[in-house]
Structure 1
C-alpha cells in the first residue's frame, strides 16, 4: 500500500488526560519526534503557529483540532492522534476569538506542501462522518482505532 503518511499504534493515544492544548500538542509532537518523523524545531514552530493560525474545528457532535506547521520541520510524513478523556480548548480556525472544545487532536507532520491539501481533504471527509468520529472519540482499543484511521485516511 502506498500510504500518504505514517499512522501506527505508537502515534495514537486514546482517552488522554490533558489540561491544555499545549499539553496535548506537546505530547503528540514528542511521540512524532521519538519516531524520527519530525525535527526538534517542530514543537516550538507548531505552538507558535497555533497562536496566529488556530486549528480548532467545531464538528456536528464534537470538536477537533489539527495543529501543524511548515514542512521544513518534518523528516517524514505522519499523523499523531489523541482522543481526550475531557475536551481541551483550542481557538477556532478562521475565527481566533472563538473557541472549540476539542475532543480529538490530530498533529500533522507534512513533509511536502503538495501533499498538505490531500491530507486536509481526507481529514475533512473523515470529520463529516459523525458516526465514525463519535465512535473514534470513545474507543479504547488501539487496534480498532488504528484500523479505522488507516481505512479512513490512507486509502
Structure 2
C-alpha cells in the first residue's frame, strides 16, 4: 500500500456547482494553487472525462473520480469535493447514462503504479457504506481528513 494522507487544504464541502465542468475546474484550481498540477490540468481532466467517464454508483454514495495524466504532476494528491446538490457525470460503466454525483475525488497522482494503488484504496473506501454516510454528514475539512486517514491506516495494518 502507498503511504497517503488526505489534507484539509484539498477538501471542500458544500460546493455549489451547475455541472461537472464547474466542479472539475474548481478542484483542479485547488490542486494547481498548491503546485500539485499544471494550470491546464482541468482541461486535461475534462478531455479525458469525455472518453473515459468516471461517475460511479456505490453503496454509500454516487461519486466521481476524475483524473488525467499530466507530466507536471508533483507528488500524489487528491482533492475532495462534497457537493451541496448533485451534478451529472457520465457513468463509468455506461457512457450513455448520467449519474447524480455527490462526492468528487479528483486524483493528481504521479506515476502509473501509484495511480493504481490509489484507485485500489478508493475502491475499498467506496465499499464502506457507513463511511460514506459519515463523510456526507461532516462539514469540517479536518474531520473528513481524519476519518479518511484513519480508514486508510486500517487498510495498511
Give the TM-score of the pair, scaled to structure 1. Answer: 0.92
**CA–CA separation in structure 2 for the residues paired with 1:87 and 1:118:** 27
Describe the superposition over 1:87-142 as per-residue Cα deviations: whole angstroms up to 9, x where unpaired: 11000003110111111000000101111111001001000000111110121112
**CA–CA separation in structure 2 for the residues paired with 1:10 and 1:143:** 9
* Residues 1:120 and 2:119 aligned together: yes
**What root-mean-square deviation, in Å, do the aligned CA atoms of Structure 1 and Structure 2 show?**
1.5
Residues 40-119 of structure 1 correspond to what in structure 2 (within 5 A)?
40-119=39-118
**CA–CA separation in structure 1 for the residues paired with 2:64 and 2:29:** 17
Contact map agreement 2:44 2:70 (CA 8 A) in 1: no
Q: Structure 1 stretches of 5 or more lacking a match?
A: none
Contact map agreement 1:11 1:79 (CA 8 A) in 2: yes
Q: Structure 2 stretches of 5 or more lacking a match?
A: none
Contact map agreement 2:60 2:127 (CA 8 A) in 1: no
2:3 match: 3
2:145 match: 146
Secondary structure in 2 aligned to 1:105? strand
Secondary structure in 2 aligned to 1:95? coil
Where do 4+ consecutive residues of structure 1 move more than 3 Å? none
**CA–CA separation in structure 2 for the residues paired with 1:36 and 1:123:** 23
Give the TM-score of the pair, scaled to structure 2. Answer: 0.91
**CA–CA separation in structure 2 for the residues paired with 1:153 and 1:120:** 12
